[in-house]
Structure 1
Amino acid sequence: MHTKLGAIAVALATGAATGVAQAQCGASGKDLLLTDVTAVTNYTPSPGGIDAASFGSLQTNVGSTALTSNIFSALHPVQAPNLYRLITSSGVSRFEQIGMGWAFHAGVPLNQAGFCTCEGGGGTSIGPGCSDPHTATSAGSAMNLGPRWQVNAASGALTHPYTAPSGTNAGRLQFAVADVTPALNPGAAYFAELIVVHAEDAGDGNALNNASVRPVLTSLAGDNPVISLSGATSPGVAAIQLWKDLVPGVVEAFVDVAGDGRFIVAARAVRLGGNQWDYEYAVFNLNSHRSAKSFTVQMPPGAAAVTPGFHDVSYHSGDGPGGATIVGTDWAFAQSADAAAWQTDDFAVDEAANALRWGTMYNFRLRGGVSPDLGEAVIGLFRPGSPEAVAAVVPVPARPSCLADHDGNGHVEVADIFAFLGDWFAGLPAGDALGDGGNGVPDIFAFLAAWFSGC
């Protein structure tokens, strides 16, 4: 299904990839980059409505020195596959991770040219500028897969030998059939992401460009989903970074944990009907080993109760400490006098808790009568250490919502009239001043009455 949003995603991703090779080749030290998502293999869904896929890849050492790739030791690359869905309905945009797979342990490097100029490498190394291709079939073979929990993405340290999965589609990128069925997801766009991890890459300070994304299309062959590649790969770009390019109003922040890894926080606040606002936060853990246990946003003192929401991705096939799959218990929500917070169990209580671990993205959402301003969203860290938390500056609920202040900037101005009328004529929920589910002439009178009264 090639939707309008999907077509825009393809165009943007194609543009993002232009000239990347010239810009990134010749980096200092050892720098392993996932330079292309090359192919896809689709599998047969299970009776429970869970399907699977795997992706072929081209990984390139864009650095200046050779990088070890010895499958018989812990010094070799691993790749983690993810699947995302972007869907916008009634002005509200959701960018969600809907699938994940185990880590693919890459084998003997082939040292080919293609992305950079290959300077040559040996049987257990990827030379400067050399590329290493892997097929989608090998990336979906159980013998090449190991659980993510055995990988420290911040340092690149791996458990060796790794534990392979067993069972149909075990360890492969898994996702719900319902999440990719076109009729159930009108207008949705989809993205495949691969994250490469290597100890020498991390040791040389080059681990922050390890995610790459490519648009994909979804269709059905009978009742079976089919994923196909579309557009071009954007090397070094995480999937969540496309949200701000595709949807107006998204604010993005990089949050680095000292001595550890990086989170990417993307947020959007949008006015709805009836003087309500919707807040959407997507928090992606690129490579923080310490992971996240809580997410807290500021609220104005004494704010009315808001309606919360939460979305995560399902672990599977025994990916968790001791071989027990991490249980996807939703994070508990609580609203205090000046904050709204979600939290899972502490590490000391349960090291297999549903923490936001490397290579995954969770969503946190609010809806209520509070308008936005820039403020702090705090990520509480799961594994013990210092600091205990880090923060991003993104839109947060800041003040009671004023109907006349349509753009939510804290001032009632003539510009608000034009902004309201623009939404009203476009048929967007923000044009429904009365909150009765439709944009009618009474909504214009209600807005103007509020504007002339000052709120």
Structure 2
Amino acid sequence: MRIRTHVIGCAVLLPFAAGASQQWKVSSGDTTMTLYTSMLRDLGLEVVNLRQTGTPMPDAESPVGFAVAPSSDLEFQVQGGALKEFLKGSLRHQGGFDLRWEGRNYSFQNFEIRFRDVRDPHTLYVQVGKDAVAYLEYAQVRFDRSRSLFELGGMDVRLAPELARRMGRPELGGQIIGMMHVNAVAKMVAGDPNDPAPQPSSALGGDARAMGVKDVMLWNVGSLTALGRMGTFPNGVNGLAMSTTSCNVGTENIPWFAPMDERHPVIAQQLYRLKDGRLEQIGIAWVKHGFLSTNSSGCGTCQNPGSGNWLGVRCTDTYGASLNGSRTWLGPRDEINPLTGRWTCRGSYFAGYQDDCVDRRGGSFNPVEHRLEVLDADLNVPGALFFMEAYYISQDDFDRYNNAGWRSVNASWTGSNWSFTNQSAQTQGPVILSWGDMRNIAIPSDEGDAIVAVRVLDLGGGNFNYDYAVYVHTVDRQVESFAVPIAPGTNVTNLSFRDIDQNPNNDWRATVAGDHIVWEGEPFGQQGANPIKYGIMYNFRFNADRAPVNAFTGLGLHKPGVMTAIQALSRTPAQAGLVNAQTAEVLMGQLISGGVANLLFSDNRYMTVGAIRPTELNRPSVEVELTAVSPTQTPSSMSFTLETASDGNPVRSRISLFNYNTGQWEVVDERNGTGGDTTITVNVSGNPARFVQSGTGEMKARIGYVDFGVTFIAWGGRFDKAFWIVN
């Protein structure tokens, strides 16, 4: 079995003087272990005869410590100040523990960490006497010559197949049992004392101040692993995590400083289920805070920056499942702004929610909390396929989609825990971009990206099932409502809503209005608010007796701001020929609130524009230009409808359409404005094709108000709905 290891500051990537080298030997230290005792109990295994002999890392989760024995003889070669290769020997330990199964003890006492092949750092394993008892995965190897410190960090400890067979439990071969971290002191025993200090191989330099592009890519996601569970099958809950590898595919080093420094990425982990064509999210975790880059090879020629505080260009960094599930590094999602990639230390969970930036991490946890929590009931679904998804969020990231990716996995219950096996190659981007009949990013995207996907199933007899998934990728303001247009007279049945939690009290309410269906949660600041946050997906479903057409759906934003909604094109049971505006630009006046997405439905969620007195006669004081795309460039009929009101008096409302044949605006309606909402429908006379641009299908309209003697300063216009019908 090939064990995955990642070396920080690998010397083959750093320049060094020809022939200069040193030989170092580990002399002392401590190894910290976190044993997953709850999960081991579920497997029928018990940790007994625990003998702690060392000082564990204080910030580790439920740590135990074992001293590195003075007889350790692990030696390695250093060139250019960086660890180049291991030479011989092992790390011997004092103390340990036993695993008890059916009255018999299996020893981890006085264990050694060895290499099956000292020339291959991917072959680390744990040995007791002459027997292999565990292997170590995703080791982060670090050597700091200036402080004579050697580390093997963040290793997943997995039961050796040899031990599993001796126990009569061969199915436990490869079962994760804990996490291990070695902190040791080394001393030089041979070589050139004048070996030069390491120099960054990249012109960017170790401080990464060069200007360029920062681009974190999810290079690999894998090893979905159960780290703990609570309850009895099939009614329990599981704490999972996955391994992730990042690669810097940009041109500038990326900050990777440990908390409480704010300059580091975080990793979101999600799990989805696909069953009978329905995609549902069944688990999320708190975000994992990055703390050290290994600057390993694997995605090109690594330009090592000479420090684990930066991820160098074309360098990789890997965290195993244990590290990505370690509560020491997991923090609340709400503390991250996904649009900027920024985490604020002051007042954070790591600071104990106090108004400073002092590290107060610690405490005890149950086996699943903060990890990727998934119910047995959501995994125990015959015929289902599952998708694990990881998502790196980093400041100033260039590409917001190559930092996410997914793989399909199978889930199987072993009788004591869940086991997962990869089924597909990795696909970049969120899972939702690979599901449904149509997928679109909502516009405008100034506030970040949200994605709407839909699957429409023909039920026969003129009836259709509409299945929508709404996922927030980088919208920090979150989404609190979702609306779908329907044609007049549409019969809607079987409305349903699904979120990620198990609390029915915060489910969104569904309402069928005259021209749309809307699901909405509690508004910002209200108890029970349950908006869609980044990395989270909700489902909305119904049946309708109308075939699908393309039309915009609406997404209401949760946190306060000028723009209150965004829209995404989808398949809907809307009226045939319905065309909504794609942009709404204020030409005259001041935007007070709302935007183009507020013009989708008659719902009293307005686009509001304050009036500005024009400098020309008969010019509007409020004017908004709409653009849209016609479904045909040779329409036989066209109408334009506007629902609007103004608190100015006297004013005239005006609607103009752009004539592409003459290059001029045509006023198609002008009338006295009203204080209450008025719906105006203009049926275009003559050839409607003059209002459609040849080649692009573009259409433009201007809507607004002309001041005819308003005697007060503060007034404006509001617009509730605007659309074309083109056939």
Query: What TM-score range do you get, normalising by the shorter chain?
Result: 0.7 to 0.9
Answer 1 or 2: which has greater helix percent: 1
Distance 1:220 1:349 in 2: 40
Q: Note the C-alpha offset of 1:386.
A: 2.9
Note the 1:78-157 alignment, pairs <5 A: 78-88=266-276, 93-121=277-305, 122-157=307-342
Change (3 A) 1:44 1:69: closer
- Alignment partner of 1:45 is 2:237: no
- How far apart, CA to CA, are the structure 2 residues paired with 1:168 and 1:328? 26
Pairing 1:332-351 to 2, within 5 Å after superposition: 332-350=509-527
Deviations 1:222-256 (A, max 9, x none): 15322222322223x11111214xxxxx1110125
Aligned residues: 347
Shift in alpha-carbon separation, 1:85–1:380, aligned structure 2, 3 A: same
Range that drifts further, 142-151 or 154-163: 154-163
Alignment of 1:414-433 (within 5 A): none
Contact persistence 1:257–1:288 (CA under 8 A): no
Question: In 2, distance between residues paired with 1:360 and 1:305?
Answer: 27
**SS of the residue aligned with 1:37?**
strand
Instruction: Look up the match of 1:178.
Output: 377
Gaps of 5+ in 2: 1-210, 351-360, 577-727
1:356/1:50 CA distance change after superposition, 3 Å: same
1:364-402 alpha-carbon deviations (Å, 9 max, x no partner): 1111322211111101111111321111111101369xx
Q: Distance in 1 between matches of 2:546 and 2:243?
A: 46
2:432 is the alignment partner of 1:240: yes
Distance 2:465 2:575 in 1: 14
For each residue in 1:324-349, what CA deviation from the matched residue of structure 2 results, as whole angstroms up to 9, or x when unmatched? xx987211000011110000011143
Q: SS of the counterpart of 2:323?
A: helix
Amino acid at match of 2:272: Y
CA contact (8 A) 2:237 2:368 kept: no
The yes-or-no answer on 1:393 pairing with 2:553 is no
* Local SS of the residue matching 1:45: strand
Counterpart amino acid of 2:275? I
CA distance in 2, matches of 1:101, 1:230: 22
Letter in 2 for 1:86: L
Give 1 or 2: higher strand fraction: 2
Is the alpha carbon distance of 1:162 and 1:62 closer, same or farther for their aligned partners in structure 2, counting shifts above 3 Å? farther
- Asked if the contact 2:492–2:542 (Cα under 8 Å) also holds between the matched residues in 1, the reply is no
TM (norm. structure 2) is 0.46
Distance in 2 of aligned mates of 1:346 and 1:154 = 21
Corresponding position: 1:200 with 2:396: yes
**Which runs of no fewer than 5 residues in structure 1 stay unpaired?**
1-26, 245-249, 316-325, 401-455
| Distance change in 2, residues 1:271/1:118 (3 Å) | same
Q: Could you tell me which residue of structure 2 aligns to residue 309 of structure 1? A: 496
Does residue 211 of structure 1 match 2:404?
yes
> Does the aligned pair in 1 maintain the 2:442–2:569 contact within 8 Å?
no
Counterpart Cα distance in 2 of 1:101 and 1:346: 25
Q: Does 1:76 align with 2:284?
A: no
Residue 59 of structure 1 and its aligned partner are, at CA, apart by: 0.8
Matched, 1:271 2:447: no
Q: Which fold has the larger relative contact order, with Cα–Cα distance below 8 Å and residues 6 or more apart in sequence?
A: 1
1:189 match = 385
Does 2:217 correspond to 1:33?
Answer: yes
Larger radius of gyration: 2
Amino acid at match of 2:507: D
Residue matched to 2:468: 281
Matched, 1:227 2:420: yes
Residue aligning to 1:438 = none
Three-state SS of the structure 1 residue aligned to 2:328 is helix
For the structure 1 residues 175 and 271, does the alpha-carbon distance in structure 2 shift closer, same or farther, using more than 3 Å as the test? same
